[in-house]
Amino acid sequence: MWLHLNFNSYFKSSCLTVAGLALIASFNMVNASENGLGPKITIQESSGESCVLPSEQMRREHPDLLKHDRIQTLREGVRAKADGSKLDGSLKQCVNCHAVKDDADKYVRIDNDQHFCVSCHQYAAVSIDCFQCHRDIPEGSSNFHALSSHKDVNYTNVVPGTYSLTIEDVANIAPEVSSDDN
């Protein structure tokens, strides 16, 4: 009777294992990108090849980068790199560039699968709490669109803290900007 019991439990556990593996395998088929591996992430087409770092490097290193930069910005007050062509530690710069719009031309929010950060993090099952505090979409009027690349902007001509805008732009912006997107 003891053997009989064991056989039943082995059978059950192996069935479950097979079913589980099949289920996991099916995820890959649903979310495969063009080359068949990994999730399909929505990235701005105009964003070019790399912004802060090459995308492969960003994928691996962005947690450390975020953590390092936020310590520098928040705790030490460093808001620009020594040569003005790099971004600072503010998350809003990342959000402004990587913001995704849906078919109704509205910015996609954090509860939507198409949000840039969510699209990958949901697949990787790594929960992020950044957007419990940080704004998940760009602020400002719909006229304010993210630039394709920050490489060519001359930061010496820019009002500090507003990296995408030049002095002329800021002069033209109304003081009270409210987003009519969401």
> Hey, what are 8's tokens?
């039943």
Cα-based angle 152, 135, 172 (whole degrees, multiple of 5): 50
The residues with which 50 forms a beta bridge, in sequence order, are 54
Decide whether 51 or 136 has the Cβ nearer to other proteins: 136
Choose which of 81, 106, 121, 145 interacts with other proteins (CB under 8 A): 81
**What type of residue sits at position 156?**
T
Q: How far apart are CA 136 and CA 179, in angstroms?
A: 13
Site residue total, other proteins (CB under 8 A): 36
Are the C-beta atoms of residues 26 and 130 closer than 8 Å to each other? no
Choose which of 155, 164, 166, 181 interacts with other proteins (CB under 8 A): 155
Taking CB under 8 A as the binding criterion, the range among 12-20, 28-36, 100-108, 134-142 that sits at the site for other proteins is 134-142
Q: Which residues bind other proteins (CB under 8 A)?
A: 70, 72, 74-84, 88, 91-92, 95, 129, 132-135, 138-139, 155-156, 159-161, 167, 170-171, 173-175, 182
